[in-house]
Amino acid sequence: MKPKASVCSVAISIAITFALSPANAQNRGSSNAPTYSYITVDNPSGTRTAPFGINNKGQIVGEYTSGHVHGFLYVHGTYTTIDPPPSATTIAFGINNKSQIVGGAYYDANGITGHGFLYVNGTFTAIDDPFEDSGGTLTTGINNKGQIVGYYNSNTGDHGFIYSNGTFTKIDDPHATSNIYGTVVNGINDKGEVVGYYTDTGTHGFLLSNGTYTTIDVPLTTSPRASTVAQGINRKGWIVGYYAGADGKSHGFLYQNGTFTTIDDPMGTNGTVANGINDNGDITGYYFDDSSDIHGFVASLE
C-alpha cells in the first residue's frame, strides 16, 4: 500500500482525478428535486478553502492552505484555525451539534504518519486504530452520540472503522477488491448509518445500515470504472457526495428517497464536490473555478 503524502491529498485528489478522467456517470433528474441557493465560503487567510462538514448550527469545518494545510472552524463569519501541535498538515473533517470536531493530522517531516483526532473545547485527543501501519489513521465523521468513523491504512489497503465507547470495529464493504484503497468511511448519522466508498475496478459509494451494505452509484453509469463517492449522511438518511461526469468534471449529488439530484455550484465551472449535509438539508463542499482554484461553498434549501 502506498503511503498517503498528505491529509489534503487523501480528501481532494480523487475529486481532481474525476475532473481529469471522463466517465459515463449522469444524473437522473426529478421534477420534485430540491433547489438550492449558494454562497461562497473562503478563508481570507488562505489561497484555497475546502469545507468538509456542517452541523445543525451552521458551523463548518474543513481545511485551507497558507504555507501548508490547516484545519479550520467557521462560525458566523469567523474562522478559527485548528492545528494540533506540532502538525505540519491538518484537516478537520466532521463536526456534530456539540461542536466536537474530528479530523486528521500528519506529524512527521515527510508527511506520512497520520493520526486521527478528536477536538473538544480546545483539547486534542489522538485516535489511532490499533491495526494501522505506517499509513496512519484518519477520523472523518462524528455523530451526536459521539460515535466516530474513519479509516486506517495497512498492508492490505484501506479499511473503514467505527469507534464507539473505546472500541474499534472494522468496516469493509464485501464488494471491495482493490488492495490500494479498499474501503473508506466518510460519514455517520445519529442512527449509526455509515457512508463512504469502496474500490474494485472503479470507485463506488456505499451505505451501511443495520448490517447491510448498499452500493450507491449515480444512475446511468455504465463504465466498469464508474466513479461515485458518498461523503456525508444526515439523520433523515439524505446522502451527499460527488461523481465523475461525462464532461470529465466532478459533480456533487444529493441522494434523497431513491432520487439523485446534482449539486453544482454555479461558480464551479470546472467541477463541484459536495462533502457534508446537516439535518436541515444544508450542504457544504467546494468548487473549482475557471482557473481550477478551489473555493468553499454552502448550499441552502430555497
- State yes or no: pLDDT of 24 exceeds 60: no
Reported as half-sphere exposure (CB side, CA atoms, 13 A), residue 277 has a value of 31
The sign of the torsion formed by the CA atoms of 289, 292, 297, 299 equals positive
From the CA atom positions of the chain, what is the Rg in Å? 17
Q: What's the grid cell of residue 274?
A: 459536495
Q: Which of 6-10, 196-200, 218-222 has the highest mean pLDDT?
A: 196-200
Tell me which amino acid residue 223 is: S
d(CA 3, CA 262): 33
Indicate the burial class of 263 (C-beta count within 10 angstroms; 0-12, 13-18, 19 or more): buried
Residue 28 is predicted with a pLDDT of 42
In which order are the strands placed within the sheet that holds 101-106? 89-95, 101-106, 114-120, 123-127
Which domains are seen in the chain, by residue range?
7-301 (2.120.10.30)
Contacts 24+ apart (CB under 8 A), 249-258: 249/18, 249/19, 249/288, 250/15, 250/16, 250/18, 250/19, 250/288, 251/25, 251/27, 252/283, 252/285, 253/27, 253/218, 253/228, 254/34, 254/283, 255/216, 255/230, 256/34
The region of weakest confidence among 15-29, 79-93, 165-179 is: 15-29
- State yes or no: pLDDT of 218 exceeds 50: yes
Residue matched to cell numbers 483539547: 123
Residue 54 is predicted with a pLDDT of 98
Tell me which amino acid residue 283 is: I
Residue 100 is predicted with a pLDDT of 98
- State yes or no: pLDDT of 48 exceeds 90: yes
